[in-house]
């Protein structure tokens, strides 16, 4: 059921019946390594290009999700997925190996929650029994498109974020055991006129706040009802800005309740400057780390908002500002048996 202008309430409570994650060698050195299903010990993942490695991360996450949920391709109705590569080749090519109807979604780094929200909508309305929603990013494949060559010696400012090498996929089912998806809020494109591609956190913070505000207005819920409000990935620069904007908007939230997947992914010693980023960061941290802790009973209700910067290298060179978007999904501990 639609609530307000931008939100849905899923009265049939679709279930995240299973989830799979994959991560690269640098992420394997991070604090969340044990939460990921498959860890690779080298950046090429045994492939001949970083683009193929990115595809492999996606396929691995999807296969893990199906395996853990004891489901086969026969059971899945649709795949909803996307990535940051030009023409989303990694996801498109990855879906070549799955004989499943596929809907490509692009929301830059907000893709994980965009796919999850749409998957929940499909399942809630009876359009599918099982939907696979996932995304991926590979540090070297993404940096190649958006920034300089990976081995080029440019000095990155403290506001820069590190593209995570990770993939995450979740299976949204009409029945089953697992966390429930109760609400979703679809974001608007927000552009506050920022232009620095080495400061994505600051560019994306207003989009996250806009979606949070819409969620509060649409659902009438109060953010203090959530054990955790998670953004992905505002990083160390965007997070305090979002908190400041929320204060200005008069939306009540405790700083300890407001976490970010880009900050959770890496340790201080890993020196990723402002934190992690990339589609795979929010996906792997949410579907690996957060879901596990939710199922363990550490939290009951979390609101995950994935944020994306909708720029391209061309738009940046043409001096365009950076439009951003954020999509949020409410996940609750629970489950139901068929």
Partner 1 sequence: MSQNNKTHYQQLSSQMEPKRPLLINCFNAFWIGGLICVVGQCLQWFFIHYFDFNEQTAGDPTVAVLIILAILLTGLGVYDKFAQFAGAGTAVPVTGFANAMSSAAIEHRTEGFVLGVGGNMFKLAGSVIVYGTVAAFVIALIRTLLAQGGIAP
User: Quick one: tokens of 202?
Assistant: 């600051």
Contact of 219 with 4, CB cutoff 8 Å: yes
Binding flag, residue 118, partner 1 (CB under 8 A) = no
- Exposed, middle or buried: residue 307 (CB in 10 Å: 0-12, 13-18, 19+)? buried
Min dist. Cβ of residue 238 to partner 1 (A): 9
- List 118, 131, 202, 246, residue binding partner 1 (CB under 8 A): 202
Helix, strand, coil shares, percent, the chain, to 5: 40, 25, 40
Residue 293 per-residue DSSP state: H
Restricting to residues 41-100, which ones interact with partner 1 according to CB under 8 A? 48-51
Q: Of the ranges 32-40, 118-126, 194-202, 253-261, which one interacts with partner 1 (CB under 8 A)?
A: 194-202
For 326, the enclosing helix (H) or strand (E) is strand 324-332
Phi, psi of 270 (to 5 degrees): -75, -10
Binding flag, residue 193, partner 1 (CB under 8 A) = yes
Return the closest-CA partner of residue 172 out of 336, 17, 327, 1: 17
Min dist. Cβ of residue 329 to partner 1 (A): 24
- List 142, 190, 216, 251, residue binding partner 1 (CB under 8 A): 190
Residue 143 neighbours by CB under 8 Å, 6+ apart: 149, 150, 163
Binding flag, residue 245, partner 1 (CB under 8 A) = yes
Min dist. Cβ of residue 208 to partner 1 (A): 13
- List 25, 104, 240, 334, residue binding partner 1 (CB under 8 A): 240
String marking each residue 136-155 x if it binds partner 1 according to CB under 8 A: --------x---xxxxxxxx
Task: Give the integer Cα–Cα distance in Å for 204 and 191.
Answer: 9
Which residues of the chain form contacts with partner 1 (CB under 8 A)?
48-51, 144, 148-159, 190, 192-194, 199, 202, 205-206, 236-237, 240-241, 244-245, 274
């Amino acid at each position: 059921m639609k609530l307000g202008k931008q939100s849905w309430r899923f009265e049939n409570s679709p279930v995240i019946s299973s989830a799979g994650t994959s991560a690269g060698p640098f992420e394997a050195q991070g604090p969340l390594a044990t939460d990921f299903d498959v860890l690779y010990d080298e950046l090429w993942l045994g492939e001949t290009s970083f683009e193929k490695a990115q595809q492999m991360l996606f396929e691995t996450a999807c296969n893990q999700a199906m395996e853990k949920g004891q489901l086969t391709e026969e059971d899945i109705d649709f795949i909803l997925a996307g990535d940051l590569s030009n023409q989303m080749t990694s996801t498109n090519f990855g879906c070549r190996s799955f004989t499943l109807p596929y809907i490509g979604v692009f929301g830059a780094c907000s893709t994980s929650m965009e796919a999850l929200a749409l998957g929940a909508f499909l399942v809630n309305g009876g359009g599918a029994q099982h939907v696979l929603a996932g995304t991926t990013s590979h540090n070297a494949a993404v940096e190649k498109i958006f920034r300089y060559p990976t081995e080029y010696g440019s000095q990155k400012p403290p506001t820069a974020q590190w593209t995570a090498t990770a993939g995450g996929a979740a299976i949204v089912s009409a029945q089953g055991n697992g966390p429930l998806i109760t609400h979703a809020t679809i974001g608007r494109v927000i552009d506050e006129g920022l232009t620095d591609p080495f400061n994505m956190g600051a560019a994306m913070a207003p989009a996250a706040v806009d979606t949070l505000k819409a969620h509060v207005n649409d659902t009438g819920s109060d953010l203090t009802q959530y054990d955790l409000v998670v953004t992905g990935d505002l990083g160390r620069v965007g997070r305090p800005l979002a908190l400041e904007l929320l204060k200005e908007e008069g939306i009540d939230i405790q700083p300890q309740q407001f976490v970010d997947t880009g900050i959770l992914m890496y340790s201080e010693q890993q020196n990723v400057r402002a934190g992690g980023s990339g589609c795979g960061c929010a996906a792997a941290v949410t579907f690996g780390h957060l879901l596990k802790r939710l199922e363990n009973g550490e939290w009951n209700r979390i609101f995950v908002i994935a944020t994306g910067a909708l720029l391209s290298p061309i738009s940046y060179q043409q001096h365009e500002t950076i439009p951003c978007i954020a999509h949020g999904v409410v996940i609750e501990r629970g489950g139901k048996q068929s």
